[in-house]
Amino acid sequence: MTSPLISTLELQARLGDRPGDLTLLDVRYRLGGPSGPEEYAAGHLPGAVYVDLDTVLASPAGSGGRHPLPDPDAFEAAMRGLGVRDDRPVVVYDDWSAHAAGRAWWLLRFHGHPDVRVLDGGLAAWVADGGEVETGPVSPVPGDFTRSEQPAMAAVAADAVLGVDVLVDARAAERYRGEVEPIDPVAGHIPGAVNVPTSRNLTPDGRFRSPEELRAIYAAVGAVPGADVAAYCGSGVTATHDLIAMEVAGIRAALYPGSWSGWVTDPTRPVERSASR
Which residues are catalytically annotated? 233
C-alpha separations of 52 from 4, 48, 108 in Å: 21, 13, 14
* Residue 168 Rama label (left phi>0; alpha psi -120 to 50; beta): beta
Give the CA dihedral 30, 158, 268, 234, nearest 10 degrees.
-10
Q: How many CA atoms does the CB half-sphere of 217 hold within 13 Å?
A: 27
Q: Are 76 and 145 in contact (CB under 8 A)?
A: yes
* Residue 4 Rama label (left phi>0; alpha psi -120 to 50; beta): alpha
- Sign of CA pseudo-dihedral 75, 81, 82, 88: positive
Cβ neighbours of 157 (radius 10 Å): 11
